[in-house]
Structure 1
Amino acid sequence: MVFNNLLLHSKQIKEEDLCLTKSLMNCVSEAIIIIRSDGSILYFNNAASCLFGYSCEELLIHIGLLRKAKGKLSSTSCLLAASTLLIQIHQDSCTVPQYQEIKLLSKNGEECWLDYSVKAIEFAGKPAKLVTAVDITKYKQVLEREKELVQNRVQLVSMVSHELRVPLNAISFCTNLLKRHSDDWSKKKIQEYVNRLQKGVEMLSLLIDEVLIIGRAEAGKLKFDPKPLNIFQFCRNLLAELYPNESYQNSINFRCQDDCLSTNLDRIMLQIILTNLLENALKYSPSGGIVDFIVYHQDGKVIFRIKDRGIGILPGDRERLFEPFYRGKNVEDLPGHGLGLAIVKKLVDIHGGQITVESQIGVGTEFALALPTASIALP
C-alpha cells in the first residue's frame, strides 16, 4: 500500500505538509483513514468514502451514538459493521504494523472483503493511527470460484470412477464366461454374451463422451459455432434420425410455428440438447405415451417445449436435477448415468439461454428451453 509504506519510514508529518498530504491522499485508490488517540476520525479520504459507502461525518455521528449506547444500537448492519471496525481499531494496541482481512457489508447490503493495515504514526505532532484498506472482494470471489472448480473436479473424478465400474464389470464378467465356456456353449448362447459385451462397450463409450463434454464445458473449451439453421427442417431430420421409419409419429407430437425461419444456433449443441430431452421424455413415459415437442419464436428467442405424460420428478429432486451424476429417487431402477441433463444445462448456458422444468408426480414433466437468437427469413 503506497501511503502505508511511505509512513513506515516517517514518524511525523509536519503541519506545513498537511494540505499537500491530504490532497495527495485523495488522489489514490486506497482507502486511507487517520484516527486520533481519542478515537475520532482526523482524516477520511475519498476512496474510504467510496469503500464504506458513508462520509466521515456519517461515521463520526454513528460512532458517537454507538459509544453512548455501549454497543447496543439499532442501525443498519452495514453502518454498524463499519463503525464497529473503526472503534475496534482505535481500542487495539498497535505497537507493530497490523495486517488483516475482514468481511463487511457495504452500504448497498452486499458482502465485501477488505484487506487493511493499521500503523501507529504521529500526525501534525500528535499520536494517531493510520488505516489503509483495499477492496479484495473480486480476488476473494476468484479464489472461491477456483476452490469450487477444484472440488467439482475431484467430485467428478470420483463419480466417473464409480460409474465406469458398471460397464467394466459387465465386460469383465462376460469375457471370463466366454473364455471358460465358449467350447461348450451353443452359438446362440455365445452370441447372447457377445451382445452383452457390445452393450457394455457402448455404455462405456457413451459415458466417456458425456464426461468429455462436461469437462470441456467446465474448462470453457467447447467450440460455440452458431450458424443459420432452419429449425423446422432440423427438428424433422433429428426425429427421423433418432426414430427411423417414421416411428416417432406414433409417440411424438411435433409442431413448429413457422417452417420458413432461419435461426442462428449451434447445430451440434442443439442436437445434443434436444436428443437428451426427447430421449428422457420417452424413457420416463409409459408404453404408448405421447410426448409433445413444440417449437416457436417469442421475444427474439426460439422456444422448445418438450412435455411427457410420465412418472414425474419428485419435488426434492428438482433442485439437483442438473447436477452431474444426480438421479431422481424414483428413476434409480432405470438405465442412465445422470449426466444428460447436466450436459443440457451447460450447453444452454453457453447459448446464453434458460431452461425451466415443471413436473407433477404421476402426471408428467415439461421442459421449456429458451435460446436467444437473431432470426432472418429464409428466401
Structure 2
Amino acid sequence: MHPSIAENDVAHICELLFQSAAEGLVVVGARGTILLVNPRMEELFGYAPNELIGKSIEVLVPLADRKAHEHHRAGYEARPAKRPMGIGLDLQGQRKDGSTFPVEVSLNHFTLNGEMYVMGLLTDITKRHAAEVELLKVNNDLEHRVEQRTAEVKAAERNLREALEKEKELNALKSRFVSMASHEFRTPLSTILSSVDLIGRYNDGPHRANIERHVAKVRSKVRELTVMLDDLLSLEKLELDQVQCIPAEFDLVDLCIEVLEELRDLAKPGQEIRFDHAGSERRMKQDPRMIANVLRNLLTNAMKYSPEDRPIVLRTAIDGGTATVEVADRGIGIPEEDQPHMFERFFRAGNAVTIQGTGLGLNIVRRYLDLMGGTISFTSRLGEGTTFTISLPARATP
C-alpha cells in the first residue's frame, strides 16, 4: 500500500511539472484570453515572464491566420474535445519579434467552478520540419534522377536500335555488293585465265621462256584473286546461315591430291608440298566441298607466308573414326600476342600486313569445321613456322 501524498505536495508536484516541462503549456479562458503559461512557452515565443498573461491567444498566431483561428476557437469552445490541433495543416506560431516557426499543438479542456478552460501543449518542430523538407527534397531529387536516368536509358535504347537498323542496312548493302562484285569478277577472271592458257599454248617464239614465266605469274595472281572471291562468297553465305553440311562418301587422299594440283601454280620457286597419308583407311563421309575449302585455305596460307625453297608438309590420317589433317610450314610464324585473335574475321598478324590477304580464311575454316563437328588448333614460333591441326569425325552423324 502506497503512502498517501498530501494535497499541498500534489500541488507542488504539479507546479514543478508545469514549470519544468520541455513543451510549451498555455491555459486559455473565455474568449481566448491567456491565463497561464509556463517558462518554456515564454521562451519559445520570446516573451518576458507574465508578459503574455491577459493577452488574446491569437497574439501567438501569424497575422494572416488570426481570423481563421478565431473561427476555429469558437467552434472548439462549442464542441470541446481532446484532440490534436490543425490535423493535416502546417501550423505556425508567431514570436514577439514577428518571426514564425512550425509548431505542433494538442488541445484538452477542463471545467473549474463552472467555467471551461482550454489547455494547449505546444511543441517546436523546427528541426523535424527541416528534416521533412530535406527528405522531401531528397525524394524529389531522387525521383528526378530516376526520371532523368529512365529518359537517358530510353534515349540510349532508341539510339542503339537506330544504330542497329543502320548496321543491318549497311550489312545488307555490303552483302549485296560482295555478292554482285564476286560474281561479276568471275567472268573476266575466267576470260583472263583462258587467254593466258592460249598464250602459253601457242607461243613458239624465241622468248618462250620469258613469256611462260610471265604467263605463270598472271595465272598465279588470277588464282589468288579467285581464292579471295571464294572467301568473300563463303563468308557471305556463312553470315546469312546459307551454308549446309552435305555429307558424301569420298576418298580423302584423292581429294588432297586434287587440291594440291589446283594450287600448284601458287607455289613459290623451290616450294615443295610433301603429302603423306598414314594408314590404309582413306574413305570418309563428310562434306567434300567444305574439306576442300579448308585444305585450300590452310595450304594457300602456308605457301603465302613461307619463303622460297621451304618445304610445306600435308599429313592426313583416318583412325578410330576420326580424321586428322595437319598442315605444317617453316614460314614467318605468328607473333605470340596475335595468336589468340587468329580466327577472328579480318584479323591479320602484325608481321603479315605487307602480304596480300583478306584475313577471312581462318575464320571461314573454323566455321566450316564447326558445321562438320570438327576442331582446329595450331602451334607457332615466330620465324620458325606454324602447324595447323584439324580433327573431325570421319563419318558425319545424321
Q: Structure 1 length as normaliser, TM-score?
A: 0.46
Q: Which has the larger radius of gyration?
A: 2
Task: Flag the structure with more relative contact order, 1 or 2, with Cα contacts below 8 A and sequence separation at least 6.
Answer: 1
